[in-house]
Structures are given as C-alpha cells and as structure tokens.
Amino acid sequence: MEIKISVNVNGKDYVREVEPRTLLVHFLRDTLRLTGTHIGCDTSSCGACTIHVDGIAVKSCTMLAVQADGSSITTIEGLAQGAELHPLQEGFKECHGLQCGFCTPGMIMTAADLLAKNPCPSESEIRHGLEGNFCRCTGYHNIVKAVQYAAEKMGNEVSA
Amino acid sequence: MSNKYIGKAVKRVEDKRFITGKGKYTDDMILPGQTYAYIIRSPYAHAKIKSIDISQALTAEGVVAVFTGDDIAQSGINGVPAGWQVNFKNGDIMKEPPHPLLVGTGSTVKHVGDAVAVVIAESKEIAADAAELVEIDYEVFDAVVNPADAVKDGAPLVHESAPNNIAFDWEIGNPKAEVDEAIANSHHVTSLEFVNQRMVPNPIEPRSAIGLYEPSSDRYTLYTSTQNPHLIRLLMCAFVLGIPEHKVRVVGPDVGGGFGSKIFHYTEEALVTWCSKQIERPVKWTSERSEAFITDAHGRDHVTHAEMGFDKDGNVTALRIKTFANLGAYLSTFAPAVPTYLHGTLLQGLYTTPKIHLDMTCAFTHTNAVDAYRGAGRPEATYLLERLMDLAAHEMGVDPVELRLKNFIPPFDGVNQPGYQTQVALQYDSGNYHEVLRRGVAMLGYEEFRKAQAEAAQSNKLLGVGFSTYIEACGIAPSAVVGALGARAGLYEVGQVRVQPTGKVSVYTGAHSHGQGHETTFAQVVADKLGIPLEDVEIHHGDTETVAFGMGTYGSRSLAVGGSAIVKSLEKIIEKGAKIAAHKLEANVDDLTFADGKYTVNGTDKSVAFGDVALTAYVPHNYPAGLEPGLDFSSFYDPANFTYPYGCHIAVVEVDKETGKVSLKRFIAVDDVGNVINPMIVDGQIHGGLAQGIGQALLEGAIFDENGQLINGSYMDYCMPRADDLPMFELDRTETPCPHNPLGVKGAGEAGCIGSTPAVVNAVLDALWSGGFGHVKDILMPTTPERVWRAMNS
C-alpha cells in the first residue's frame, strides 16, 4: 500500500506515492535524489541527515515521509540563494569547517536553526547547540569558528 | 617556481561541492538496474552453522537471489588475504587462517557480525525483510575476547590451525638478557600494567560498495568507500576472485572519512562484485551504523606490562615491555604490521634509552578484526612511553618536563648532523625535540599553572597537567625496507602531470583524499612549481581507470610520498619545456631560467610563457628535432626513508572530586610536521587527530562481554566526542624540513591522535596526585567519572 504525499522541497512542489514505512531521509535521497542529506547512523544520533521542516531543524531519519505531508522542507541543496552561498556555507569554507564533507550538510542545517533561534551565540552555546551532530574530522574547532563567522556576517547584514 | 601558494592558507577547492550538498559518495549512486544486498550476520561470536534454509526467502516477491557460503565455496573463491606477513620469533610463518566472504554450512563463525548469507532484492527494504525468512541453525560455543586470556591453555580456539590463539609472537630491540640486566641494575624502575583499549574508528560515512558486471565487455566496476582503490583491485582480483586485473575498475569516489578503517580490503567488496556477475545486475551494499560497529576493523587493543629503568640522575637506562595485542578473528589487510613494525619500532620515542626490548604476542579472539586506526601502533607506543615518563617523574619526585629534557635526543638536522639511529631499527631523519617542549611549556605558563593547581588542591575541583612528547614514522615506505619487513606490496606513490595544450594542468595521483584536502594542497604545489594560477590545476584521484597503479592514503604519506611523485613529474615537465622554450627563443637550454611561469634567457628580457610552450608541445610545427611531442609525464616516487614528525602535547584538566568528572580545560599542541604547504589544512588535520586521541582518553572504547557481544555497538552507547566535550585547541608549530624528500614535508594526518591520549590521562593523574591521591598509578581509559571516582575512593 502506498500513500500519496505532497511536499514542497527547496521551493519546488512534489506529489509522490510512498510506502508508509519510508523514512523522510530515504524519500529525499532515493525518491527525490537529493543526496546532500546523508545517513551516518541508525539511532538518530549523528545528525548527518538534518534538514529543515517548516523552518525547524529535524533529523530526517526520525520522521516518516508521510508525516511530512503538506510541509515545506529545506535541504542543504536549497540553502544557497542561487549562486550566493548562505553565510554558514561561506563560513564553513572560509574557516575550514569541513574535511571529508559527510557531516557538513547536517552540521550546516543544524547551525542555521541555532542561529535562527540565537543570532549571537557564545562559544559554549554553539558547542551545546551542535552536540547532536557528530564530526569525526575537524575536532569541531573550525566548525565553531565557522558558525561564529556566519553569526557575525548575518549580524552585519541585519545592521546594515 | 613562484611563491604564490605554498605556505599559504589557501581555501579548499573541494569545499564547494560539499557545502552545497553536491558531494558524490558511494551510497549516493543508483546505477541502472541496481539491486540491493542485505548481509545476514552471525549473532554469535563463536558457533557452528548446522544448517541454512534459504527456500522461503528465495520465493519472496522482489528477491533476486540469495547466496550462502556454500555457493561461494563451490565457485572456488578464496577468502580475503592479509597484506603483510610477520613471522614468529623462531622463523615460522604467521598463522593466516582463511577469511571467507560468507561462512558456509558446517563451518564456524568467529565473531558477531561474521557474514553468513546475502539476500539480493529490488530494494533494501525487501532484502532486509527477506533476510528474516532465512533460517540458520547454530551450535553456540564459548568465546574469548581478551588477547591475554586468549593465549592461555584451554581458552576457546578461534582457529584450529592456531594453537593457543597465537597468530605469531615477535620481538624487537636489544637482546633481552641485556635489557633484563640493565633493568636489574637501575636505580629506580617505574612499572605499569595497563590496557590500551579497543577503539572504533567511526568515520561518519558508513562503508558502501557497488559491484557492476558488464557482460558485453566482461568487465567489472567496483565503487567503494576506500582509501586506496588500486590495492583493493589488486587484492580482490589476484587473491580473492581470480579475475584479470585489467578487467576491473575500482573507484573510490568522495569518501566520508577513513581514519584507517577504509584502507583494508573487506569481504563485502569482493562479495558485491562476485554477486553482480552471478545476477548480471549491479549490486549495492551499504553498511548500517550498527553493522559498521561489528564489521569495520577496530584499532588499538593492547594489554601491556612495561618497565622503565633510571639511574640515580634520572637518565633512562632501559625499557622492557611485554604486550598482548588483539588481532580479532581474522587477519585484516595491515593487521600484522600494526603492533609490530608500526609500534615496536617507535619505542625509542624521543629519548636516548640505551636498552630496549619488546616481547609481543599477537592473538586471535572472537571479535571483529583489529587493524590500523589513525596512528596505528604509534599511539600505542607513545601512550606507553609517555605514561611511564609522567609516572616516573611522580615516583622520583622530579619535574616531568625536566625529566624529558634530560633524556631527549640532542637536536640534529639530518644534513650536517647524521640521522639518529634508534635501538629499534629506525633512523630518525631530523628534529629539535627540546624546542617543541619548551614552546609548549611557555604557552602553558607552567609556573602560574602550578600555583593555580596548588590552590585548587584545597577545593573540590582539582587541576592537573599532563605532558606528552611523541615521534612517529610516516610517509611509508621505502618499498625495499617494508618488503624486508613482510609487506606484500611496494609502498611508493605515482603522480602523473598532464599539461593540456592550453597550458591547463591535470594531475593524477595515487593518493586518495577522504578529507585531507589533496585537491587543494597538491594543486598549490603544482601551481607554484609551474608558476600558473591555482585554477589552472585540477587534481584527480580515486579511479584505477585514470590513475596509474598507486598505493593510496594512510600513514600520513600523501604529501611526503604522493606529493614527491608529482614533483618528480613536474621536474620532467619543466626540463622538457625548457627544450621547447630554447627552440622558440633560439637560445641554449643552459641559458634559460624558469620562474613565474615563463622561460627567460638569462640576462635578457626575452621569454616565453609556459602556456606557449604547452601549445607548441601539442602543435609541434616548429619544434626541436628529435623531441617527442606532448607534455605529459608520470613518475613513481619511492622514498629513501620514513619521515618522522614529532611534537609536544599538553593537556590541562579539571577533576571534580565529588563526582570524578573530568573536564578538559586546555589543550596545547606544538607539532613539527616538516615544511607546511597549507597551514590551514595542517591545523585542521591536527585538530581532528586531537579530538580522536582525546576521545580515547576521556570517552571512547569498545566493550565486549564474555560472550563476544559488542555491548556498546551503536551511537547510543559508544561515546563519540561531541562539540561540547572539547575546548578550542591552542596550536603552534616548528618546521624542521625532512631532509630526504623534495618538499621537505613529514606528514600531519596522525600527529594529533598520537600525542594527545597520554597527555590527557597524565593530566587526570596529575590532578589526583595534587589532591592527595598520590598512590593512584593508573586509571583505565576512557577515564569516565565512575573510574576516576573509584580511583579516588578505593
């Protein structure tokens, strides 16, 4: 039995039939072929699959595709405005906040949610905010810097 | 040559695709007609397979095929081999029992996760569902998981062919009798029994492999998350499947971290390749995380008794070690080399210790394989030496910094002064070990720290500082040396530089980037050597179809060996280009200088740009007589020696006396990795290594119960370092060039992971010692609150 769902992903409407048990992350990766959202674990621990559902960061392995029916989703592929990178994407590049790149999409999506809630986080607030996302490459040092870079840049844009 | 990029923090060119979600990892691919494999694994560590019934699964809708070990055996396929041979002390060849792709009926599974059958279906869900329909009857036996227990008489046997579960025993250093005598004559002997616990590498991308067989050409392609595609192809073709190597292409696309665990040739790679031939469709297998925990090769797992002797002035007189190393159930690709040649040979450390002996017993157990994990043997050697050093200082009532400075090998550059010959085979290339420690201590503010520590000792929050000074051997090979030590492969690297007619440059390297940033660092070298913009250079790696036979990335070797191969090709390009330039300029080759991207006639303003030379090479209408067209060179570089990065790591911790909780307050690292091409990337490598080393000290460790069950085999249970477990790191470096490779580089990938672990544990003990718990000699890693609390309250 398949169930019809309608979702808006990165500004584009999709109507698809899915199995009830299909996880949102599998729907994004296998059905819509948006493979920037990654799967790093099977216990909703690593955060590599983090996306935004109606503006809130969600680990897309914790949610069924059918639960996303009618919602608006943003994945890493939809974060940049055309050719202009999101300040977090820019920050990760400028601060060497990524190495192998596998955790990066989830890390950026979580950080975007963090900055939406707390535009000027302290170092410890950033670290606490990212504790649900694992990175094995960077030791988090430059990820913290990347988030600080983005916070500063977004703040500048607001004040300008 | 120009100096626009080398030494600069050039932003990474590979980042664009990763930050926009456009990376291409193996599991991102869906090939036309692709099927999905689900591997049924043993839930028992040691059991005989009495029967397997696949009949129900075969008839399930959407199932394409089910294969068992019996199918594999019938097609005459060998198991996966070890890539390194280490012999027993008496010269006997190590025990190398077969490691089958699937364990067949009547045979015994040897660890939880051992593969028994594979279900192939139209979707991964169907495959997983159908796997539930496969009935396997096991007869369960006792298991053994600890290497020191495994070698005792009467322990459950992993392989009938390996009595007492001994894969091999091994020794290195001075004659044992001499070391025994030196220990006996020492003024003070510091003795420590400890465990270097088993670590799970845990790259965030789980392993994945897709086998593709094309009947029309009788060719195979294997996409796999690997650190070295060529080695996988060689091992799989020549030793496992028996397919001609030129009929197989192996691609390691974007790979989400490796840390050693993706070096090895795993059974799943051969399995999907073989299955794709059977069903003539692509077969994909992607590990789940819980599956990765019980199938990826783990690291470390030593049980050690070590003694360090000192004379009355505090000079080290001797080092004597007995270690049991766990190799798991099967010999993984590099496993035999890790506790031996990558560990025993580093026991000189930075000290002038005159007598050293290591007695090593390597054991099979009913656990998954143990192999190289970031640092591979060198962290174990460093942990041993540096724990002994801080403990000895504590026992003798001397300062741990002074004790190290007193025992350090004096500075030598390897050019004007010779390399340092150790007691354990290696000859160090160059180093100033005093300088890194002095710098680290200055960054710490040692005197002020000791004052603060004395004040804290009166409170419930104890402060401690731990030191660690390390050396590592990187940039493996030379091939002749590793061959003599049992490697079944050469360890050179290949680098091809293809100048395109328009002067753009394509580089093909046998090194493999899975986070290290080769696409940037290597391009910096090429752009500067040729004096062209960075954008004009593209680095290609990871595909056996485009790259000549290369050896891949591990052991911090990419730049030292792979970069050097590229430099050799660049030299050939520049030399041939000079002949073309001389012809165009109507000058003598010897009168030309190549700089800033052009050949100039000395003493004149006559010059020709590199791009013009490139075009002429491919449009050779007016061309030097007898010279071949084209500008495209490939080189193999086999180093003259290993490289020897070193450094000083200092940890400051706070220990809560009431709860035993350890907080890492500061971490200082002063590393010398030789010359630095991209300081931003080198710092990033250090950061990541530190996090893994600190993770071992404070948080991580695989725990097997007596039945061989990994009881913390998920991210819910295995404590990975998170952002809020770590401080900002304080880094500095010295740069002592490697004297024997053209870039003067030593390697940075593992340094952080090698030095940091003992620094943290030493700091925890120092905190306890300052708080009146001077009797505590050791705390098992990870130093959890419970263990620290018990140490204070026992």
Contact between chains at A93 and B27 (C-beta distance less than 8 A) = no
Question: Do A148 and A110 belong together in one domain?
Answer: yes
CA distance A4 to A16: 6
Domain total in chain B: 3
* Nearest residue of chain A to residue B693 (CA atoms): A139
Determine if the peptide bond prior to B244 is cis (ω within 30°).
no
Which residues have CB under 8 Å from B713's CB, separation 6+? B290, B293, B294, B702
Same-domain check for residues B694 and B770 = yes
Min Cα separation A14/chain B (Å): 19
Amino acid at site A39 = I
Which of B19, B205, B262 to substitute to test the interface with A, most A CBs within 10 Å? B19
Asked whether residue B173 is domain-assigned, the answer is no
SS3 (DSSP) at B182:
helix
- Which of B583, B617, B637 delimits the end of a domain? B637
Which neighbouring-strand residues pair with B666? B652
Report d(CA B75, CA B726) in Å as an integer.
51
B663 touches chain A (CB under 8 A): no
Interface predicted TM-score (ipTM): 0.97
Q: Within the 566-595 window of chain B, which residues sit less than 8 Å (CB to CB) from chain A?
A: none
Do B616 and B749 contact (CB within 8 A), yes or no?
no
Domain that residue A33 falls in: 3-78
Tell whether B425 lies on the interface with A, counting CB pairs under 8 A.
no
Q: Which parts of chain B sit beneath pLDDT 50?
A: none
Contact between B28 and B112 (Cβ < 8 Å):
no
Of A135, A28, A80, A36, give the one whose Cα is nearest residue B688.
Answer: A135
CB contact under 8 A, A43 and B27: no
Enclosing domain of residue B100: 31-141+205-256+262-295
By DSSP bridging, strand B108-109 and strand B135-140 are unpaired
Answer for the pair A25, A61: CB distance below 8 angstroms, yes or no.
yes
pLDDT of residue B489: 87
Chain B positions in Cβ-Cβ contact with residue A37 (cut-off 8 Å): 21
Does B204 contact A128 at a Cβ distance shorter than 8 Å? Answer: no
Helices A87-94 and A141-159 sit at what angle, rounded to 10 degrees?
140
Most distant CA pair in chain A, distance: 53
Q: Is the pTM of this model over 0.90?
A: yes
- CATH code: domain of residue A66: 3.10.20.30
Mind telling me how many Å the CA of A153 is from chain B's nearest CA? 17
Do residues A99 and A140 share a domain?
yes
Q: Which residues of B touch A76 (CB under 8 A)?
A: 19-21
Tokens, residue B503? 């002067």
Q: Is residue B184 part of a domain?
A: no
**What single string gives the DSSP state of each residue in A54-100?**
TTEEEETTSSBGGGGTT-EEE-GGGSSBTTBPPHHHHHHHHTT--SS
Residue B740 lies inside a defined structural domain of this protein: yes
Question: Are B375 and B507 contained in the same domain?
Answer: no
Distance from CA of A35 to the nearest CA of B (A): 6
B414 and B359 inside one domain: yes
Residues 239-278, chain B: which have Cβ within 8 Å of A? 254-257, 259
> A36 vs B288: CB contact, 8 Å cut-off?
no
pLDDT at A59: 98
Q: Are B690 and A36 inside 8 Å of each other by CB?
A: no
User: Which bin fits B757, alpha (ψ -120 to 50), beta or left (φ > 0)?
Assistant: alpha
Whether residue B137 is found in the same domain as residue B274: yes
B170: its two tokens: 């091994």
3-state secondary structure (DSSP) of residue A14: strand
Provide, as residue numbers in chain B, all residues whose Cβ is less than 8 Å from the Cβ of A41: 289, 714-715
The answer to whether B15 and B681 are in contact (CB under 8 A) is: no
User: Which helix (H) or strand (E) segment is B74 a member of?
Assistant: helix B69-74
A73 lies in the same domain as A122: no
Q: Which of A42, A57, A78 is the last residue of a domain?
A: A78
pLDDT of residue A156: 65
pLDDT at position A146 is: 98
Cα–Cα dist B197/B203, whole Å: 18
Q: How far apart are CA A160 and CA B722, in angstroms?
A: 35
Considering the domain architecture, whether residues A22 and A70 belong to the same structural domain is answered as yes
Write the DSSP symbol of residue B335.
G
Of A75, A130, A142, the CB nearest to B684: A142
B688, A136: Cβ pair inside 8 Å?
A: yes
Q: Is residue B609 part of a domain?
A: yes
In a domain, B162, yes or no: no
Q: Of A92, A136, A138, which is closest to B19 when you measure between CB atoms?
A: A92
Neighboring chain A residues of B202 at a CB cutoff of 8 Å: 136
Does residue B616 share a domain with residue B698?
Answer: no
CA distance B187 to chain A (A): 42
Write down the pLDDT at residue A155: 87
Q: What is the pLDDT of residue A157?
A: 59
Do A102 and A49 fall within a single domain?
no
Last residue of a domain, one of B595, B618, B637: B637
pLDDT of residue A159: 47
Whether residue A1 is predicted with pLDDT greater than 90 in this model: the reply is no
Does residue B509 sit within a domain?
yes
In chain A, residues with a C-beta closer than 8 Å to the C-beta of B683 are 96
B384 and B457 within one domain: yes
Residues of chain B with C-beta less than 8 angstroms from the C-beta of A42: 288-290, 714
Shared domain check, B646 and B633: no
Q: Which residue among B12, B20, B204 places its CB closest to the CB of A96?
A: B12
Nearest chain B CA: its distance from A138 CA (Å): 4
* Residue at which a domain ends, from B295, B314, B347: B295
Distance from CA of B582 to the nearest CA of A (A): 42
Domain harbouring B283, CATH code: 3.90.1170.50
Are B626 and B646 part of one and the same domain? no
Hey, are the CB atoms on B257 and A76 less than 8 Å from each other? no
Q: Which of B715, B722, B729 sits opposite A41 (nearest CB)?
A: B715
Task: Indicate which CATH number applies to the domain containing B624.
Answer: 3.30.365.10
Q: How far apart are the C-alpha atoms of B751 and B471, rounded to whole Å?
A: 8
Residue B784 has a pLDDT of 98
Distance of CA B520 to the CA centre of its chain: 21
| Number of separate domains in chain A | 2
Same domain, A70 and A105: no
Per-residue pLDDT reduced to its tens digit, B106-133: 999 999 999 999 999 999 999 999 999 9
Q: Are residues A63 and A108 in the same domain?
A: no
State the pLDDT at residue B363: 98
Domain shared by A113 and A46, yes or no: no
Residues of chain B numbered 718-757 and touching chain A (CB < 8 Å): 720-724, 726, 728-729, 752
Provide the shortest C-alpha distance from residue B288 to chain A (in Å): 7
Between β-strands B427-428 and B248-251, what pairing exists: parallel, antiparallel or unpaired?
A: unpaired
Contacts of A30 in chain B (CB under 8 A): 30
Between CA B183 and CA B400 the distance in angstroms is: 21
Same domain as A107, residue A57 = no
Find which of A43, A74, A96, A131 to mutate to test the B interface (most B CBs within 10 Å of its CB): A96
SS3 B361: strand
Pick from B264, B522, B505: nearest CA to B372: B264
Q: Are B89 and B357 in contact (CB under 8 A)?
A: no
Query: B221 is written with which tokens?
Result: 């392609």
CB atoms near residue A124 (< 10 Å): 11
Nearest CA in chain B to A83: B20
Q: What is the mean pLDDT of residues A66-84?
A: 97
Inside any domain, residue B193: no
Pair B309, B393 in one domain: yes
First to last CA, chain A: 53
| B122 and B236 inside one domain | yes
Say yes or no: A73 and A97 in one domain.
Answer: no
Q: With an 8 Å Cβ cutoff, is B667 touching chain A?
A: no
Between CA B576 and CA B562 the distance in angstroms is: 22
Q: What amino acid occupies position A31?
A: T
Cβ-based neighbour number of residue B307 at 10 Å = 18
Whether residues A96 and B714 touch (CB distance < 8 A) is answered with no
| DSSP bridge pairs for B308 | B190, B319
Distance from CA of B727 to the nearest CA of A (A): 8
Residues with Cβ < 8 Å from B223, sequence gap 6 or more? Answer: B26, B29, B208, B209, B210, B212, B251, B252, B253
> Chains A and B: how many Cβ contacts under 8 Å?
181
Q: Which of B689, B662, B674 is nearest to B755 (CA)?
A: B689
Q: Where are the beta strands (DSSP E) in B365-456?
A: 420-421, 427-428
| End-of-domain residue from the set A78, A105, A138 | A78
Domain boundary residue among A78, A97, A120? Answer: A78
Q: What is the DSSP string of B674-726?
A: BS-S-HHHHHHHHHHHHHHHHHHHHT----B-TTS-BTT-STTTS----GGG-
Same domain, B395 and B497: no
Say whether B687 and A139 touch across the interface (CB within 8 A): yes
What are the b/e assignments for B262-301, b being 16+ CB within 10 Å?
Answer: bbbbbbbbbbbbbbbbbbebbbbbbbbbbbbbbbbbbbbb
Are A12 and A70 in the same domain?
A: yes
User: For position B422, what pLDDT does the model report?
Assistant: 97
Look up residue B231 and give its DSSP letter: H
In this structure, the number of other CB atoms found within 10 A of the CB of residue B349 comes to 28
> In this structure, are residues B362 and B166 in contact, taking their beta carbons and an 8 Å threshold?
yes
Instruction: Provide the H-helix boundaries in B312-399.
Output: 378-396
Instruction: Looking at the structure, tell me whether residues B463 and B591 fall in a common domain.
Output: no
**Alpha carbons B518 and B230: distance in angstroms, whole number:** 18
**Closest-CA residue of chain B to A141:** B728
B188: in domain: no
Q: Cα(B578)–Cα(B624) distance, rounded to whole angstroms?
A: 11
User: Chain A partners of B715 at a C-beta cutoff of 8 Å?
Assistant: 41, 43, 45-46, 134
Is pLDDT of A160 > 50? no
- Based on the domain organization, do A15 and A58 belong to the same domain? yes
